[in-house]
Amino acid sequence: MTELKAAEGNSDLESLIGYNLKRAYVIVQEDFRKTLGEGGLSPRSFAALSLVISSPKITQSALARALGVERSGMVAIIDDLQHRELLERAGVPGDKRAQALLPTANGKRIYKAALAAVAKHEEKLFGVFNNEEQALLVDLLRRFREARGNGVEN
């Protein structure tokens, strides 16, 4: 056992579910960024673009709620996606303040390629689990979210 593992093993952290969730997610996030490369979509931008494609004309505030991201953080993500010409803002008839989001043709193309890469990244990373275990993990995580609400990221 290494010095590090010994240090972790003796602390209270390893028995905390939250700590284990966080550590697992850090591994996924790191590999996600490596997979999409420098200048590629971040996990958040990828998620935002995915929802804009599946729900064209979604408003910025509905997108923020759906993703569990604070409004201010959402604006930065949308600005970046618009700057990269992956989506466009359009007016909402009858609501001058709201803005509806639409993917560009380029946005759809980039997303499709990113999704294929992300699918491979998940297949590789979670290959440590068999199909049943993967389904079980997703089921537990979804049930947790359904019971506990969306949460908002700072």
Q: What's CA 87's distance to the chain center, in Å?
A: 17
Residues 74-103 contacting a copy of itself, CB under 8 A: none
Indicate the pairing of strand 87-92 with strand 95-103.
antiparallel
Candidate residues 75, 76, 113, 140; the one interacting with a copy of itself per rule CB under 8 A: 140
Q: Which is nearer to a copy of itself, 2 or 93 (CB)?
A: 2
Q: Which two tokens stand for residue 119?
A: 């699918």
Least CB distance from residue 154 to a copy of itself, whole Å?
8
Candidate residues 98, 102, 115, 117; the one interacting with a copy of itself per rule CB under 8 A: 115
Candidate residues 83, 96, 97, 148; the one interacting with a copy of itself per rule CB under 8 A: 148
Site string for a copy of itself, 14-53 (x = CB under 8 A): xxxxxxxxxxxxxxxxxxxx---------x---x--xx-x
CA angle 4, 21, 135 (to 5 degrees): 125
Question: Which residue in the block uniquely carries the two structure tokens 């593992």?
Answer: 5
Q: Strands, E, within the chain: which ranges? A: 58-59, 87-92, 95-103
Least CB distance from residue 57 to a copy of itself, whole Å?
11
Q: What's CA 133's distance to the chain center, in Å?
A: 21
Indicate the pairing of strand 87-92 with strand 58-59.
unpaired
Facing residues of 153 across strands?
69
Interacting residue ranges for a copy of itself, rule: CB under 8 A: 3-4, 6-8, 10-33, 43, 47, 50-51, 53-55, 58, 62-63, 65-66, 68, 115, 118, 121-122, 125-126, 128-129, 133-134, 136-138, 140-145, 147-154
